[in-house]
Chains A and B, each alone.
Chain A
Amino acid sequence: GENVEQHPSTLSVQEGDSAVIKCTYSDSASNYFPWYKQELGKRPQLIIDIRSNVGEKKDQRIAVTLNKTAKHFSLHITETQPEDSAVYFCAAIPNYGGSQGNLIFGKGTKLSVKP
């Protein structure tokens, strides 16, 4: 089955710097890759997602890139701000012969942005 690995588990950056979180997946048929942000004590919320027919997607300071050949996708946050501090989860949906699977989550990255 699908396996999603996420690195690093913790990341500390200075305000204004960029942050990059990388995930790898095992099932080459996976076709949907969302990123969720979870602030302390809150629920996970979708911040950006990418589908397998697209290589890159951007939304203001956040971008996601997908490399299907290497089976990895990355979250890029530019000009980080203290409010970006949270745990970020990547996920993938495997595709079993045309039948949609369920989201498989990475273990999360705790991002700390220091003012």
Chain B
Amino acid sequence: NAGVTQTPKFRVLKTGQSMTLLCAQDMNHEYMYWYRQDPGMGLRLIHYSVGEGTTAKGEVPDGYNVSRLKKQNFLLGLESAAPSQTSVYFCASSPGTSGSVGNEQYFGPGTRLTVT
């Protein structure tokens, strides 16, 4: 049981290049999330998914796209990278919600992305 894994761990991009970050979870969780973490800014939600085939925008979605073709995978794409997207990206998953109450989110190890 690996939990939540992310690929790659590190990446350096030039401005304008594209890339895809992969998140995988083996806990059969319904919900998956992509966050970015910048110094002094906490964790900000980029996009999320409440089930296979669904995606929705979070707090800071501009410049990113996502897809959830399989329940266990959640992909984050940068079509044309910009220096402002230099950040640490975390994926997370959760069982969803039981009624109106939240559940623990399990985070992946993170991807450190630098855009020059």
Contacts and interface: CB of A to CB of B under 8 A. Distances in A.
Interface of A: 6, 9, 31-32, 34, 42-46, 49, 51, 89, 93, 95, 98, 100, 102-103, 105-108
B110 A43 contact: yes
Contacts of A105: 42-44
A51 B109 contact: no
Interface stretch (B14-22, B61-69, B71-79, B95-103): B95-103
Interface residues of B, number: 20
A105 B42 CA distance: 7
12 contacts: A6-B42, A31-B100, A32-B101, A32-B102, A43-B110, A46-B104, A49-B102, A98-B100, A100-B101, A100-B102, A102-B45, A107-B40
A105 B44 CA distance: 7
Nearest to A110: B40
B102 A43 contact: no
B8 to A, nearest CB: 15
Contacts of B44: 105
A31 B103 CA distance: 11
Contact of A107 (B41, B107, B108): B41
B45 A51 contact: no
B101 A43 contact: no
Interface string B42-54: 1111001000000
B100 A43 contact: no
B23 to A, nearest CB: 12
Given A31-B101, A49-B104, A103-B45, 5 more contacts: A9-B40, A34-B104, A44-B43, A46-B105, A98-B100
